[in-house]
Amino acid sequence: MKSVTLAYFEIPVRDMDRAISFYQKVFDCHLNKQVLGDFQMAMFPMDSSAKGAGGSLVYQKEFYEPSPKAGTLVYFSSEDCDVELGRVEEAGGKLLYPKRMISPEVGYMGVFFDTEGNRVAVFSQK
């Protein structure tokens, strides 16, 4: 059977600077804002040798709209999702589901709202 692999993701935002600040605090990383006319993006750092997909925050008033209930749920990988989940509220987000076991074989997950109203998840094996 052919596998399907995620290549890239985009998280829509209403306020790019606020969203950059939130994600930098939660994931302890740096995002660079790019302005391309009426389109803005901020790429998440990614090691090209690592497994997984890259992605960015995106803003364009007519095309992107954050959603707390609908759409795709993005899961970020983590060493221990408790670390990032513990930073969510201080960064301005809201914790929806604290760390919980999916199964012993799979690992753990937690879900939060970002500052833009998107549901976002974190996954770890420990």
pLDDT tens readout for residues 19-41: 999 999 999 999 999 999 999 99
- Amino acid letter, 10: E
pTM of the model: 0.85
The strand pairing partners of 101, in sequence order, are: 108
- Report the pLDDT value the prediction gives residue 109, as an integer from 0 to 100: 94
> Which residue from 62, 59, 27, 65 is spatially nearest to 45, judged by alpha carbons?
27
Q: Are 44 and 30 in contact (CB under 8 A)?
A: no
Superfamily holding 8-124: 2,3-Dihydroxybiphenyl 1,2-Dioxygenase, domain 1 (3.10.180.10)
For residue 30, what pLDDT is reported?
97
Scanning the structure block, which residue is given the tokens 């890259």?
Answer: 54
Q: What integer best gives the mean pLDDT of the chain? A: 91
Write the DSSP symbol of residue 106: T
2: pLDDT strictly greater than 70:
no
- What are the boundaries of each domain within the chain? 8-124
pLDDT exceeding 70 applies to what percent of the chain? 96
